[in-house]
């Protein structure tokens, strides 16, 4: 029997008190009779959230800081109780939602492994059998018998994640605490999460790494201000969230994230990827190719800027970026239409379907337009290939 999660109309309300004593003067004010003191203000951290996760499925949760994501996870792990609604959860759950949560500061790393696993109902014999694997994955063996109060935040994250993934959970819940680790360890954690997903573990992941949400998760939930703003296919939800971030940037006085709508000054009209070696314009692994970007400038003035091109697979994995901003290839976008072409002598992509995202910046590096899936193309080889890139190679006997 695997894990199953059902949240129905879940809400969590807090009472915000403005009269906390943080000075002697405030302390004296608190001595005033209650009727003259300000009443607490209700605050809904999560409001009317519903979703379901079937066995073996994964859910990514995105949103700005303070949007209610962590509160929602605490409700799921039952460290908080909802004010309204209810949550049904079955299966062995393992969670890492707060740095150092579940660790006793005076216990050593080894003792905390035993403590955490015991809380999850793991037998002592099973814990001992997994002990070395947990320690090695966390990469803290020299410090495993040192009290965790002396650990850095990164060491806390390593140990907490290692315990969480080695107790054979049916449901794994992970918050953004992995952000304190170095890049290599974060990738190691993502690889383990992906392996667990393939093995049938249900996963709930909160992350600001939108690429990981697109690649790893089956479904996505966008939370803003405690309410659900988007739910569904990760690619679509992440696209909507990124658009929202662009609109927020515009409201803050920066260049807007212009989409292909009427009234937009800069628009991406067309994107085409073509092979240069074959009359039928098909593309084989290793072929030379060109990428055309058609740009419309609706103003009466020439706009100077840069074009960035991102190539990715349909599952969201970015496989290549051609950055005019990074290369300082300034383009003059004249009133009307401007065509930009980028050529590559060898497009070393494995056979498969690919999509192209285009972003246009002005000469100050501010984003003017951003279009996902602006174009699509297929690489088709005679040999069966897998992976992402084609690696030229020769076999030899040594």
SS3 call for 224: strand
Question: What is the pLDDT averaged over residues 328-351?
Answer: 92
Number of CB atoms found within 10 A of residue 204's CB: 27
pLDDT of 49: 94
CA-nearest of 138, 142, 150, 148 to 107 is: 148
Confidence of residue 307 (pLDDT cuts 50, 70, 90): very high
Tokens 């060109």 sit at which residue?
290
Picking from 42-51, 143-152, 373-382, which range would have the lowest pLDDT averaged per residue? 373-382
Domains observed in the chain: 4-244 (3.40.50.300), 255-379 (2.70.50.60)
Kindly compute the dihedral angle of the four CA atoms of residues 316, 241, 207, 172, in this order, to the nearest 10 degrees.
-80
Q: Is the pLDDT of residue 363 over 80?
A: yes
138: its two tokens:
């966390």
pLDDT higher than threshold 70 for residue 301: yes
Angle between helices 153-166 and 124-138 (to 10 degrees): 140
Q: Residue 123 and residue 52: Cα distance in Å, rounded?
A: 30
Q: How many helices (H) and strands (E) does the chain have?
A: 9, 17
Instruction: State how far the alpha carbon of 151 is from the alpha carbons of 103, 133, 135, 158, in Å.
Output: 11, 19, 14, 10
Measured from the Cβ of residue 44, the count of other Cβ atoms closer than 10 Å reads 17
Give me the mean pLDDT over the 79-100 stretch.
Answer: 86
Residue-level pLDDT at 398: 74
Residue predicted with more confidence, 101 or 169? 169
Contact yes or no for 315/220 (Cβ under 8 A):
no
Kindly report the average pLDDT of the chain as a whole number.
Answer: 82
- Count of residues in the chain: 398
Question: Which residues face 306 on adjacent strands?
Answer: 361
Taking 90 as the threshold, does the pLDDT of residue 150 lie above it? yes
Residue with tokens 């192209």: 356
User: Cα–Cα–Cα angle for 390, 395, 398, nearest 5°?
Assistant: 140
Euclidean distance between CA atoms 259 and 248, whole angstroms:
14
3-state secondary structure of 324: helix
Q: Which DSSP string corresponds to 74-85?
A: HHHTTSS--SEE
Least confident of 235-249, 311-325, 358-372: 235-249
Q: Looking at residue 278, what is its pLDDT?
A: 66
> What was the pLDDT predicted at 255?
37
**Joined tokens for residue 258:** 């212009």
Give the C-alpha separation, 333 to 342, whole Å: 16
Please tell me which residue, 243 or 59, carries the higher pLDDT value.
Answer: 59
| Surface-to-core class of residue 360, CB atoms within 10 Å of its CB (0-12 exposed, 13-18 middle, 19+ buried) | buried
pLDDT tens-digit series, residues 4-53: 999 999 999 998 776 555 555 555 655 656 555 667 788 899 999 999 99
Tell which wins on pLDDT, 315 or 250. Answer: 315
pTM: 0.62
* Average pLDDT of span 52-64: 91
**Distance (Å, whole) CA 88 – CA 52:** 9
DSSP-derived 3-state class of residue 48: strand
* Residue 325, pLDDT score: 84
């Amino acid at each position: 029997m695997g894990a199953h999660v059902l949240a129905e109309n879940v809400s969590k309300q807090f009472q915000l008190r403005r009269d906390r004593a943080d000075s002697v003067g405030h302390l004296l004010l608190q001595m005033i009779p209650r009727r003259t003191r300000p009443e607490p203000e209700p605050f809904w951290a999560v409001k009317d959230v519903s979703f379901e996760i079937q066995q073996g499925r994964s859910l990514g949760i995105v949103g700005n800081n303070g949007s209610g994501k962590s509160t929602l996870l605490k409700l799921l792990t039952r460290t908080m109780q909802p004010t309204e609604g209810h949550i049904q959860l079955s299966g062995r759950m393992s969670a890492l939602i707060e740095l150092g949560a579940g660790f006793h500061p005076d216990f050593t790393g080894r003792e905390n492994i035993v403590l955490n696993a015991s809380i999850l109902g793991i037998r002592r014999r099973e814990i001992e059998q997994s002990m070395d694997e947990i320690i090695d994955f966390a990469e803290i063996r020299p410090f495993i018998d040192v009290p965790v109060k002396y650990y850095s935040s990164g060491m806390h994250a390593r140990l907490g994640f290692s315990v969480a993934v080695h107790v054979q959970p049916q449901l794994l819940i992970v918050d953004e605490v992995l952000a304190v680790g170095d890049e290599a360890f974060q990738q190691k954690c993502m690889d383990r999460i992906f392996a667990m997903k393939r093995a049938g573990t249900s996963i709930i992941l909160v992350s600001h790494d939108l690429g990981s949400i697109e690649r790893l998760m089956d479904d996505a939930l966008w939370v803003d201000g405690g309410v659900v703003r988007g739910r569904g296919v990760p690619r679509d939800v992440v696209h909507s969230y990124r658009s929202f971030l662009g609109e927020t940037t515009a409201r803050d006085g920066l260049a807007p994230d212009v989409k292909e709508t009427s009234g937009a000054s800069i628009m991406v009209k067309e994107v085409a990827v073509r092979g240069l070696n074959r009359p039928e314009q098909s593309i084989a692994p290793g072929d030379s190719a060109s990428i055309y970007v058609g740009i419309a400038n609706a103003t009466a003035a020439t706009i100077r800027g840069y074009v960035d091109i991102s190539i990715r697979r349909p599952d969201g994995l970015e496989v290549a970026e051609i950055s005019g901003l990074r290369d300082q290839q300034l383009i003059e976008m004249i009133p009307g239409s401007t065509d930009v072409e980028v050529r590559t002598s060898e497009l070393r992509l494995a056979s498969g379907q690919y999509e192209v995202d285009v972003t246009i910046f002005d000469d100050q590096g501010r984003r003017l337009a951003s279009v996902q899936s602006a174009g699509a193309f297929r690489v088709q080889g005679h040999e069966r290939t897998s992976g992402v890139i084609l690696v030229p190679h020769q076999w030899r006997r040594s």
